[in-house]
Chains A and B, each alone.
Chain A
Amino acid sequence: MAPKKLRRARLSQELCERLSRYQITTCQDFLCLSLLDLMKVTGQSYRNVQKLLCKVSLACAPKMQTAYEMKVRRAVNPSSAFLSTSLHGLDKVLHGGVPCGSLTEITSPPGCGKTQFCIMMSVLATLPVSMGGLDGAVIYIDTESAFSAERLVEIAGNRFPAYFDSDEKLFSMTRSIYLYRELTCGSVLKRIKSLEEEIISKKVKLIIIDSVASVVRKEFDTKLQGNLTERSNFLARGASLLKYLAEEFSIPDPAFCLFPKCSLREPA
């Protein structure tokens, strides 16, 4: 998602060279300038600058779809719209399960079972589609070292004894779960950024972050004034990266947060 170079916006070679002398090389640089500045750096009239703005915008703007086209696309593949949680009541309330293509957040006070839920969802994602799974791999970003492989195997074996009837089946499932231990906000962000290629190469169908809050609270003491902006910055950037991945690959993205009984946002 690096900024697009102006050459790819079909501007003339001459114009690109001229602009690069002012350090304007990407569409981002171009679109952030005011009209007057644009007239100055391009040396062109108001009218022509408007036309150039349209050209560069066309290179950056998203494609239009009608809501009808979106509905048709979803209807084509209804089973892959949700990942069932295997809990009937929860699936009913969620209209099918954890939705694919968007972020789902799970929060609770400590000890309620979030990590257990994550581990179970990991098993479910590796199951074949006929059993309600996604037949894919899982990326599990663990910031608290709470993940237990033994527990994973225990859940799988007890929950689906008919399917995991051999050690081989169990090990094959564990091989599809890729665990990353990240202990700082920076490394979590870095990991998320690197995921795009992994998702394609490993056929990932579920991404779990357990938990976002623990790593944020470690680094950002909200009692200190300046930290609030930096923390929001990190959360917003992480969220938008995850959303991009979720939508691009149509995968469910539960990002788990841990909240204590009092509010995360404490008064100064």
Chain B
Amino acid sequence: GQRQLLPLAPALRARLVAAGFQTAQELLDTGPCGLSKEIGISKEEALEALQVVRQECHSDATQTAGAPGTSRKCTALELLEQEQAQGFIITFCSALDNILGGGVQLTKITEICGEPGVGKTQLCMQLAVDVQIPECFGGLAGEAVFIDTEGSFMVDRVVDVATACVQHCQLIAEAHQEEDHLKALETFSLESILSHIYYFRCRDYIELLAQVYLLPDFLSEHSKVRLVVIDGIAFPFRHDFEDLSLRTRLLNGLAQQLIIVANDHKAAVILTNQMTTRIGQSQSTLVPALGESWGHAATVRLIFHWDNNQRLATLYKSPSQKESTIPYHITPHGFRDVQPPAVTQNPEGTELNPRKRPRREEEK
């Protein structure tokens, strides 16, 4: 290349020339430790020199088009500040919010596993409403994407849940009589809540794959979305898959894309999963479906199950909260605490014996 004069101190330059260095690239390739040894200067001086050289070279070089995005790096302190400012989507069941550390976290994937009828879709519908609560009432004023693979989404039920949520906010507004509360209620209505739940019915795994590929663009166009629900991640993958390695690869790809979506768009991703039977030596147990490698996909894992007639939620996996079990109710108004709210610990393992549930004997 061209011969330029680098803005280095003359003494330094003399030493470099004496040592036989001819091009800037050579200097860069040697590195600060090698350079300091070779020309007899301290490591800090060598580093300074190299930084000067690098700056000179970059100001000349043309930027290559389409460079990949710089990797995000930050200190743990910056991350701590981000995490503390992070929003949560409340569930309206204070016991569940407590064990989750405030509610369902944004930028993370939360998986809810459980048998049919235990309340997974109920919680999803509740969250699709709760994410829209205005900021003055403690919400995120967001919108929701609901991807349904099993057809479990019931509009009439969402109407019940949304109506109860609006009434709850109205009670708060009446009690406090603040202006921003009353203003927010003007636009927080049943109609607006329903209009901001974007519903996609995916009939098979191809429709699901396609929809997840299109999610980033959709979320860029609808920047207020703070919740993505995939109700029934297992259902499309449990049949028509002779090639299990393909299934694993596709699921891993899905998980990766969802992590990116959650991070880039500051959204919470909720997945619901079925339970399957693992045939053991002496007994069979219920475990989350889709295999062991899928267990790594979600950051937070909740298992919903029955104990006699009481519904329970167990926090099974979380990087920051400890494992606990709490009871919950499904009421006409939605997902709620058991009165009075109680938090109980679950010291035993989390593999659940289906025989402890006399209420429903039959299983698929």
Contacts and interface: CB of A to CB of B under 8 A. Distances in A.
Contacts of A27: 206, 210
Given A61-B200, A237-B240, A263 B195 contact: no
Most buried by A among B206, B250, B361, B363: B206
Interface residues of B, number: 52
Contacts of B176: none
Given A102-B151, A267-B279, A54 B197 contact: no
A59 B201 CA distance: 15
Contacts of A59: 210
A70 B239 contact: no
A179 interface: no
A54 B284 contact: no
B199 A67 contact: yes
Contact of B206 (A28, A34, A58, A237): A28
A237 B204 contact: no
Given A243-B150, A265-B363, A34 B195 contact: no
B214 A68 contact: no
A66 B277 contact: no
A1 B204 contact: yes
Contacts of B200: 61-64
Contact of A71 (B194, B207, B354): B194
A47 interface: yes
A65 interface: yes
A233 interface: yes
Contacts of A225: 279
The winner among B128, B195, B239, B284 for most chain A CB atoms within 10 A is B239
B269 interface: no
A62 B201 contact: yes
Contacts of A268: 279-280, 284
B139 to A, nearest CB: 18
Given A240-B239, A268-B279, A66 B194 contact: yes
Contact of A247 (B151, B156, B249): B151
A243 B151 contact: yes
Contact of A235 (B194, B198, B236, B364): B364
A195 interface: no
Contacts of B7: none
Interface string A30-68: 011010000000000001000001101111111111111
Nearest to A4: B206
Contacts of B312: none
B202 interface: yes
B168 interface: no
A34 B250 CA distance: 9
Contacts of B193: 67
B217 interface: yes
A70 B200 CA distance: 11
B213 interface: yes
Contacts of A232: 238-239, 276, 364
A54 B238 contact: no
A67 B196 CA distance: 8
A28 B250 CA distance: 12
B64 to A, nearest CB: 13
B155 A107 contact: no
B151 A62 contact: no
13 contacts: A27-B206, A34-B249, A61-B200, A67-B197, A70-B199, A71-B159, A95-B156, A107-B362, A232-B364, A236-B235, A243-B203, A261-B361, A263-B363
